[in-house]
Chains A and B, each alone.
Chain A
Amino acid sequence: MKFSDEFEARFAEMVPHYPTKRSALVPTLLYAQDEVGFLSDEVIAELASRLELTELEVRNVISYYSMLTTEPRGKFNVQVCTNISCMVRGAEEILHHCARRLGIGNKQTTPDGLFTLEEVECIGACSWAPAAQVNYDFHENLTAEKIDGILDEYKKRGTQ
């Protein structure tokens, strides 16, 4: 299993920060997922071995955290918050608009593998609602037109 040099440098730096190796697990899983796209069997086996855990222990942790996934996602994960502050400012319309526009439902991926749509819980953008995150990028004060432009931009970026 080969990770990037950046991942390796980060991993090597992080592990000595803790008295137990497994403490590095949660952030490491997320960085590994960012690189590979999802937490594959291979990634799980590799990280379990590095942190002296069983694969089951790693899977047990993965299943707890909502950002971690063992299933491949699209290149761009469109995460629309529909929690209270966003909801009262029209988040459901934003979510439905994304669903219509991308032709997929919640937690589904477009056939070209570019987009996954996900309804998510509060992302901490309450005062700039409605809001969404595409991968880690925040998009705030959304309207249907604004989201069209945003999705076009990602599509362009993804097909270049």
Chain B
Amino acid sequence: MADLVSHPDEVKVVSRRFGLGATNLDRYLELDGYKAVQKALAMEPDAITNEVKASGLRGRGGAGFSTGMKWSFVPKQSAKPKYVLCNGDESEPGTCKDRLIFEHDPHAVIEGVMIGALAVGARSGYIYIRGEYRYLSVIMQKAIRDAYARGFIGKNIFGSGRDLDIYWHGGAGAYEVGEESALMESLEGKRGIPRIRPPFPAVVGLWGGPTVINNAETLANVPHIILGGGEWYAKLGTPKNGGTRLFCLSGNIAKPGVYELPMGYNLKKMIYEVGGGIPNGRKLKAVVPGGSSCPCLTADEIDVAMDFDSVQKAGSMLGSGGVVVIDDQQCIVKFALRTMKFYQHESCGWCIPCREGTDWLKKTLIRFHAGGGVKKDIDNMQYLSENMLGRTFCPLGDAAAMPTIAFVKKFRKEFEDHLDGRPCPYEKEGAAEQLPAMAH
């Protein structure tokens, strides 16, 4: 069970039931549970989608696409069954928010899936939870069983004459499966290799049927939007960036934790006031603002509003809400290397630029960090990364390339400090001892 934190600047929407025992269905009902889905049952499907559109809710998994728009792409008529799929394969390094939602408020996810299903005309929904989160799968399975037992899901829900089934599904360790089309492959019992798009999942998705795929946090917001209204939710954030966001503060920060803050909250304030600043008398070197795939911001670049558009304008991405703080005692080359090791390990190997690019970059960075680099390597790393961009079927190639380009461009001097056989200036004595290489 992960520790909860709080700060006076928090605006609790999706986290409002955290720590209140809402895994218990009766308690969830006391806390306005299953009211939103009943309200949605009395609404026209288009009205539900329009309310979500009006809320300015954008995908919390990282891409930041308008949720209401996504729903509106699902065709009204379909010969094949339609589905709603909740993406709970949270695996982006730096991200640990969906975990808290599943742990503290599983029924909100179920309710969100239900409302999505009502909006697009689906009769089944799946909640996919990563394999490592076994204890959360236990919580979710119980929540689903409890909801069935009360008749909230299943046949004739709330006496509406509609049938709606919700199922749990589990992964078995794969970052790539967090990508929407790979997620569908995994749910169909296959390797998580992405699909070629178009057709997009909204038209041809799970088992060939139109499918809405949303992140767990996105869906957990939906019941609050239906109850509070799209306009209310939109106003919590900044223009075109409705609502609040779970920000996962991690790394070299005094008070790490998951905080729910309004969209557009200033990053500097987030680090120094909410997160308590950099401990041990050290200084800030860089921040990865939205999970490992986002280009880092230097200490001079953090006066930025944390919403999708502002962070993009600052040259990075809001991503999945994972704010990883790096202090001045950390080596950026090593950080870049660890990031690349991850992407190399997780690349599914289908697209050559990603498979070969991540492997080559990893090998270069290992040699470079160990003092075997030459000056040309620095430009090569940038060149190689730039040539991966946009050349793969799914965003994993970009996710590996983008942070690397930023590390090389923004911290070129640190790369140069590793040249000519000089040992890493940050490596502590003895820490470089090697374990046998990661087999895979």
Q: What is the interface of chain A, defined by CB distance below 8 A to chain B?
A: 17, 19-20, 22-27, 29-30, 51, 60-61, 64-68, 82-85, 87-89, 92-93, 95-96, 99, 105-108, 119, 121-129, 133, 136-138, 140
Contact = CB atoms under 8 A, between A and B. Distances in A.
**Size band of the B side of the interface?**
35 or more
B345 A121 contact: yes
A20 B433 contact: no
Contact of B173 (A61, A68, A82, A93): A68
B2 A26 contact: no
Interface stretch (B36-44, B91-99, B151-159, B365-373): B91-99
B170 interface: yes
Among A20, A27, A66, the one with the most B-chain Cβ atoms within 10 Å of its Cβ is: A27
A133 B92 CA distance: 17
A119 to B, nearest CB: 6
A121 B440 CA distance: 12
Interface of B: 2-3, 81, 90-96, 98-99, 130-135, 165, 167, 169-175, 186-192, 207, 248-252, 256-258, 288, 292, 322, 324-327, 330, 334-335, 338-339, 342, 345-346, 348, 431, 433, 435-440
Given A61-B191, A125-B96, A127-B250, A27 B326 contact: no
Contacts of B99: 124-125
B93 A121 contact: yes
A26 B326 contact: no
Contacts, number: 175
B172 A85 contact: no
Nearest to B345: A121
B172 A84 contact: no
Given A29-B172, A66-B173, A124-B91, 14 more contacts: A23-B188, A25-B190, A66-B172, A83-B342, A84-B288, A84-B292, A84-B342, A99-B435, A121-B91, A121-B93, A121-B342, A125-B2, A126-B248, A136-B134
A128 B3 contact: yes
B132 A27 contact: no
A140 B37 CA distance: 36
15 contacts: A22-B189, A26-B172, A26-B187, A84-B93, A84-B251, A84-B339, A88-B251, A88-B325, A93-B431, A96-B431, A105-B436, A121-B91, A121-B93, A124-B98, A128-B96
A129 B248 CA distance: 12
A107 B438 CA distance: 8
A123 B132 contact: yes
A133 B172 contact: no
B140 to A, nearest CB: 12
A60 B193 CA distance: 12
Contacts of A88: 251-252, 324-327, 330, 335
Contacts of A137: 135
Contacts of A122: 91-95, 175, 292, 342
Contact of B170 (A22, A30, A83, A123): A30
Q: Which 3 A-B pairs have the closest CB atoms?
A: A67-B173, A25-B189, A22-B189
Contacts of B435: 95-96, 99, 105-106, 119
Contacts of B169: 17, 26-27
B436 A65 contact: no
